Structure 1
Amino acid sequence: MAKPSGLHILRDTGPPEGSSTYTTVVLLHGFAWHSGIFSKLVPLATDHNARLVLVNRRDYPGATPYTPEERAVLEGALTSDPAIAREQLLAYAKECAREVYALLVQFVTDNDIPPAQPEANEGGIVLVGWSFGTNWMTSLLANVASFPVNDVELAKYVRRVVFHDPPYHTLGFPSPEDPYNPLQDTAIDPADRTRIFANWVSGYYAHGDTLDTLERRTPLTSPPPTLSTLTDADRAAALYPAPGDPGGSDALLLVGGIQSGLFAALFERAIALPTAQAEGDGEGKVTDGWADVEVRNVWCDRSVWEMPWSVWNLRARLESEKKAGKALRDVTLLRLNGANHFVHWDEPERALAAFLASKSEADP
């Protein structure tokens, strides 16, 4: 029997009335925000023939807190040799992936959702991980070939995995010269960094197309940072700083994942097609690694510098890997011009359309 998931479904819009071809969009949030930040997508579900499932990760409201033993892995990685820490965190990431997998299996078991019809761009599941939540997407893709198939063959349902505006470090890319992030700013009181980060990351930025024209610090005054437009009630329903505060689970994973090379290792495994079946876990049969599942990177060109820098590196890496003849997953890029990191709040119609758009609408 599959291990239960510790994740929490915050909201499920249910199937659109009368539809047998709807797409189920499962959304996982980022760093210090929970899935309440996707609430503006909810009223749009029916018009897009979609069912939206908003999921909170471990340590966020409604989900299972991490145990002392699980936290010890994150804490220990900060002081371990990087190679040892990477192996410890790879095992940790596999358990995170298993929890997403278990949630999807249970959801398919409990709900008569339409199977995927990739050619028609209908049905099935589109799985979205926003920002830091992209780590759960790469973890799943990196490990799914080793997860057993029992009564539910998820490969018949999951047709797209979306990296929603990921920062460069979640894909394991190196930082540029003169990087800036309030979370590492020693001039800011540690107790205030997560909240200042929330405002910084929600800004709109004017970038050029080269490294020296990436604006690191100062957002535009118009449009204003998304956080500044939220009411107190909006913030209370979506902002949850504790996991991102010093010693929080997301903060520990962020630092340990960068220091150990975890994120780079996950990304390499995630985009590579398995060359052979991995060993199972003692029950069921092994999947083929979702070889036909599309991986889509939706990126916003007015986001904070970490996101454009991420997609520039991603595009270069994909081109390099393909020239080297490596077998890769089907990775597409979709650019949202003028949008920022909170496009799902500021322009929810546009964000949902990007998750659901056909492959022909992605960047060439």
Structure 2
Amino acid sequence: MRAHLVLVVLIAHLVSFASSLSQGSLVVDDNGTQLTYTDSGAPSGSQSYTTIFAVHGMGFNGGIFSKIQALAPTRRFRIVAVNRRGYAGSTPLSTFEQNVILNGTAEQRSEFSQTIGVELLMFMDTFIQQHDIPVFNGDRNSDGGVALLAWSIGNMAGLAAVAHIVDVPEATQSRLAARLRTFIMQESSSNALGLPAPPQNWVPLDISDPTIPAAHQYTAFAQWVSAYFDHGNLSSKDPNVISWVVPSSFTPFTVFNMSRSQYDSIVDTTDNPALDADQLALTSALEANYRASNFNSTLRSILPHMENWFITGTRSASFGPYCIWVVEDDNAAAGGGFVNFKTIDGVNHLMHWDFPELSVSVYQSMIFS
């Protein structure tokens, strides 16, 4: 009974905090493009903290990070959840941009990807200037600086940002170079990196199963991707041990733990996830961003403090456990030491919602390592 009461009080606190998050938007280019965000704020009475810019995935807006934002002030973090284009009030993709994604030349598609990355960089730089975010002194055990956390298909934007650090004004580049200490790739799929999906890959979308009615695909996806899966021995790196399609029958999906109001405010099943899925066709640009952000020593030298991580959960949807193997192999082929890896036992794709305390501790272990 006591444990139940504590849980009720904790949930009430998290719900109350989520409603009190600071909200805003920043203009990120001369065209008036805006990205909206929520901000946990600087820890009270503390001059020493680290800022995390968190980028959401497909079908879930930045509200999916509200639980870790609630914990941020007590962990010397400031967490800013950025809404990508089209989500939660951020400027939608234009008709021209949508056409480039579907029908553009290789050059146009590369320019579009660059634009998405530069927009995120300019958001971070503008926020840094407005809030006087401190520099990172190079001591991994100290506070200060910023981390970039890209989750799921949000890695398309995160990787584009790091890859195009050379395409922002020199002053912006300098400010980010003095602050960006960690880049976390959480639960990306291989095709979000511009790499092939394995033949066993399946998602409840028309790219895998055209029999699913279009009107229900992204509702089905939101459920499936938030499920828990019972994989085999993942240390074997054998694709046959992965449960590619069927979730566990014994653990509720994450979205089933949301209230109706939470679901309605966070889950997006409109055009935005469809546009995200379309961007997976930008294969060449996505792979170029992935390889530059992780394995290009010249580019990495521009961000001298940045350490890269790839993390996944042992009960996540198939693409997470598979993708970490792909990145591990690429890291080894590049000579090693470019990317660090962490697999979290027992968590699924939405770790930061179901296990916010654990998630913040995991981020701490990477940012302060």
* TM-score interval, smaller chain: 0.7 to 0.9
Which residue of 1 is the match for residue 363 of structure 2?
Answer: 355
Which residue of 1 is the match for residue 264 of structure 2?
Answer: 236
Equivalent position amino acid for 2:182 in 1: R
**SS where residue 153 of structure 1 aligns?**
helix
CA-CA distance at 1:288 after TM superposition: 5.3
Which residue of 1 is the match for residue 162 of structure 2?
Answer: 141
The superposition leaves residues 300-345 of structure 1 with CA deviations (integer Å, 9 ceiling, x where unpaired) of: 111011000000111111111117xxxx7x4211221111000000
Alignment of 1:263 with 2:263, yes or no, is: no
Which residue of 1 is the match for residue 311 of structure 2?
Answer: 298
Alignment of 1:224 with 2:252, yes or no, is: yes
The superposition leaves residues 78-116 of structure 1 with CA deviations (integer Å, 9 ceiling, x where unpaired) of: xxxxxx43x322111110011011111111111122211
CA-CA distance at 1:291 after TM superposition: 3.5
Gaps of 5+ in 1: 78-83, 278-286
Identity %: 26
| Bigger RCO (CA 8 Å, 6+ sep) | 1
Which residue of 1 is the match for residue 134 of structure 2?
Answer: 114
Q: Any conservation in 2 of the 1:9–1:53 contact (CA below 8 Å)?
A: no
Q: 1:166 aligns with which of 168, 174, 188?
A: 188
CA-CA distance at 1:355 after TM superposition: 1.8
Call closer, same or farther: CA 1:301–1:173 in 2, change over 3 Å. Answer: farther
Which residue of 1 is the match for residue 203 of structure 2?
Answer: 181
CA-CA distance at 1:189 after TM superposition: 0.7
Q: Any conservation in 2 of the 1:37–1:238 contact (CA below 8 Å)?
A: yes
**SS where residue 86 of structure 2 aligns?**
coil
Q: Any conservation in 2 of the 1:273–1:291 contact (CA below 8 Å)?
A: no
Gaps of 5+ in 2: 1-26
CA-CA distance at 1:36 after TM superposition: 0.7
Call closer, same or farther: CA 1:116–1:296 in 2, change over 3 Å. Answer: same
Which residue of 2 is the match for residue 191 of structure 1?
Answer: 215
Q: Any conservation in 1 of the 2:87–2:272 contact (CA below 8 Å)?
A: no
CA-CA distance at 1:40 after TM superposition: 1.0
Q: Distance in 2 between matches of 1:27 and 1:105?
A: 14
Q: How many residues align?
A: 334
Alignment of 1:56 with 2:83, yes or no, is: yes
When the two chains are superposed, the root-mean-square deviation of aligned CA atoms in Å is 2.2
Q: 1:202 aligns with which of 202, 217, 226?
A: 226
Larger CA deviation: 23-32 vs 1-10: 1-10
Call closer, same or farther: CA 1:226–1:167 in 2, change over 3 Å. Answer: same
Q: Distance in 2 between matches of 1:289 and 1:301?
A: 34
Give the TM-score, by structure 1 length.
0.86
Equivalent position amino acid for 1:290 in 2: L
Equivalent position amino acid for 2:129 in 1: T
The superposition leaves residues 3-55 of structure 1 with CA deviations (integer Å, 9 ceiling, x where unpaired) of: 35734343112111121220111111100110111111122011111111111
Alignment of 1:128 with 2:149, yes or no, is: yes
Which residue of 2 is the match for residue 273 of structure 1?
Answer: 296
Q: Any conservation in 1 of the 2:184–2:310 contact (CA below 8 Å)?
A: yes
Give the TM-score, by structure 2 length.
0.84
Which residue of 1 is the match for residue 100 of structure 2?
Answer: 73
Call closer, same or farther: CA 1:2–1:193 in 2, change over 3 Å. Answer: closer
CA-CA distance at 1:150 after TM superposition: 2.1
Equivalent position amino acid for 2:42 in 1: P
Equivalent position amino acid for 1:236 in 2: D
Which residue of 1 is the match for residue 178 of structure 2?
Answer: 156
Which residue of 2 is the match for residue 251 of structure 1?
Answer: 277
